[in-house]
Copies of this chain bind each other. A is one copy, B any other.
């Protein structure tokens, strides 16, 4: 299979695992896809933090992004569920075993379109998991329709002009009382890893919105100019038959800085990295921050809001120390005597 092969590395971490032990199957995503770099960050962080792969569950929905759990942490159980319905499955899994750490990977369509309801209710329950949105503003796997996070007025060859305002998943998380809200850019390894580490240590839902460019479904201005990539073309074939190999887009900028990033389609986005001035404990400041960014068409990156105060779902449920999934007949099946007294009440 012609897929992204990952270079082997030497060295072991404190629990004696090599980085390879944290890898997954070869990726089948497009070359240069932002999602693949995020997988690499997860692998590095898990290796650095010396997490036991057996203590992790990987959850995802449906989409190119949601395929990625197959491409990292081979030694962790994975659950690639249904489109937009991963939060509920994760809720059940963590109720059944609250000692597991969950990493969820979703897409902007998976979370912002079909999955918005489950996403909001998961946040409301404060389900303890790292919830990553690999946000490219399009439906990658179905070939380039707009998702709910696409910017108003944005133009794509396939989908035309987006007439609808974008859903800001960070704002959505915030108003749903999320205790950890952060944003980053797939091409910023340093920041993504920092935020991943912080998210993994958060007890509750940690929402990490990572802008992750889709190399395949955007307007190849250049090529269209030199190359009649017109309507006639699309009509005849039912798929984008040609996906030119692209380079991954990377950025490196400091706190407080703003950078302009050129997407594969020539479009530009503004990233502003938060600095010490922003107090992520002030929900109200976080709201203002996102509202302002919304107006100035900026993307704020960094830790936007954090509140360690909320009880997580597991705590609220008074779950037994032993995971429910490990309870035996002894705890679970009442005695004959118990049945007798229940019967007595009904006579």
A interface residue numbers (CB < 8 A to B): 113-118, 120-121, 124-125, 148, 163-165, 167-168, 171-172, 175-177, 283-284, 287-288, 291, 311, 316
- What residues on B are CB-neighbors of A124 within 8 Å? 148, 164-165, 167
Copies in the complex: 2
Closest to A311 in B: B163
In this complex, the member of A125, A148, A175, A176 whose beta carbon has the largest number of chain B beta carbons within 10 angstroms is: A175
Closest to A174 in B: B175
| Binding site secondary structure of chain A | helix
Shortest C-beta distance, A264 to chain B (Å), equals 27
- What residues on B are CB-neighbors of A118 within 8 Å? 117
- What residues on B are CB-neighbors of A114 within 8 Å? 117
Partner of A164, one of B113, B125, B148, B291: B125
In this complex, the member of A115, A165, A311 whose beta carbon has the largest number of chain B beta carbons within 10 angstroms is: A165
B176, A167: Cβ atoms under 8 Å? Answer: yes
Partner of A148, one of B113, B116, B121: B121
In this complex, the member of A117, A120, A167, A171 whose beta carbon has the largest number of chain B beta carbons within 10 angstroms is: A117
- What residues on B are CB-neighbors of A284 within 8 Å? 288, 291
* For the complex of A and B, 10 pairs with smallest distance between CB atoms: A117-B117, A116-B117, A165-B177, A163-B316, A171-B175, A284-B291, A175-B175, A287-B287, A116-B120, A124-B164
Partner of A116, one of B116, B125, B283, B291: B116
Shortest C-beta distance, A46 to chain B (Å), equals 31
A157 CA to B148 CA in the complex, in Å? 40
Partner of A283, one of B120, B175, B291: B291
Closest to A119 in B: B117
- What residues on B are CB-neighbors of A120 within 8 Å? 116-117, 167
Partner of A291, one of B115, B163, B167, B287: B287
Name 13 A/B residue pairs within 8 A (Cβ), A-sorted: A114-B117, A116-B117, A117-B117, A117-B120, A121-B148, A124-B148, A124-B165, A163-B316, A175-B175, A287-B287, A287-B288, A287-B291, A288-B288
Known pairs A116-B120, A283-B291 / 17 extra A-B pairs, C-beta < 8 Å: A114-B117, A115-B117, A116-B116, A116-B117, A116-B121, A124-B148, A124-B164, A124-B167, A163-B311, A163-B316, A165-B177, A167-B176, A171-B175, A172-B175, A175-B175, A287-B287, A288-B288
Closest to A117 in B: B117
- What residues on B are CB-neighbors of A291 within 8 Å? 283-284, 287
Shortest C-beta distance, A213 to chain B (Å), equals 23
A316 CA to B177 CA in the complex, in Å? 33
- What residues on B are CB-neighbors of A164 within 8 Å? 124-125
A120 CA to B175 CA in the complex, in Å? 13
- What residues on B are CB-neighbors of A288 within 8 Å? 284, 287-288
A163 CA to B310 CA in the complex, in Å? 11
